[in-house]
Chain A
Amino acid sequence: ETGVTQSPTHLIKTRGQQVTLRCSSQSGHNTVSWYQQALGQGPQFIFQYYREEENGRGNFPPRFSGLQFPNYSSELNVNALELDDSALYLCASSLIGVYEQYFGPGTRLTVT
């Protein structure tokens, strides 16, 4: 059984740029959730995707967007990067209706 994987591991971007983060779900899982974790804080829910559509969104602006592909992998896109976007971005997969989520190792994004 393959766990949740994320790429890249680390990323450095400049304010105003755009970034794409990638996630591959655990085998057999059909939903993907994205979380942002600032240093010293608990993760904050960004959104979840199920059947290639957004299935719930947290308190994040529209410049945070996502995609889910037919193989259940997912992308998180952030436009017009701000310094406060610097964080660990976590992806979690699950089976709809089961709700226990399995997390990937995260992508550390630094915005300068």
Chain B
Amino acid sequence: KQEVTQIPAALSVPEGENLVLNCSFTDSAIYNLQWFRQDPGKGLTSLLLIQSSQREQTSGRLNASLDKSSGRSTLYIAASQPGDSATYLCAVRRRGNQGGKLIFGQGTELSVKP
């Protein structure tokens, strides 16, 4: 059974700091991994999607890496801003699973202090 874990559960940093969020998964047979942002009480916004054949993806100040063999992904945020404050969720899609079901971690709640 695929399980996804995110550490830490919460993180508080001063504005301008670079930071790394971690995601680990137990079954390396994944189709892809996706990072989302969620503002309080809101839906999910897709940040980055990494296919199983890729090592990393970049969008602006965000960089996500994937090490399938070790079951790990990291989301790097450069020069953090107060507007980055949100919960960040990672989710994996198993290779061959029905219907493209996403399995989520519990999220890391990020607070960036001015």
Contacts and interface: CB of A to CB of B under 8 A. Distances in A.
B98 A56 contact: yes
B41 A101 contact: no
B41 A56 contact: no
A33 B42 CA distance: 17
A56 B104 contact: no
B99 A103 contact: no
Interface string A31-43: 1010100001111
7 contacts: A4-B43, A56-B101, A90-B43, A92-B44, A99-B32, A99-B100, A108-B41
- For the complex of A and B, list the 10 residue pairs with the smallest distance between their C-beta atoms, beginning with the closest: A56-B99, A42-B104, A56-B98, A48-B99, A103-B44, A105-B43, A55-B99, A99-B100, A103-B43, A45-B101
Interface in B1-36: 4, 31-32, 34, 36
Given A41-B106, A42-B89, A88-B41, A101 B4 contact: no
Given A90-B43, A102-B46, A105-B42, A42 B100 contact: no
A94 B105 CA distance: 21
Interface in B36-81: 36, 41-46, 49
A48 B101 contact: yes
Contacts of A105: 42-43
A90 B44 contact: yes
A66 interface: no
Contacts of B107: 42
B112 to A, nearest CB: 20
B106 A45 contact: no
Interface in B90-114: 91, 93, 97-107
A40 B106 contact: yes
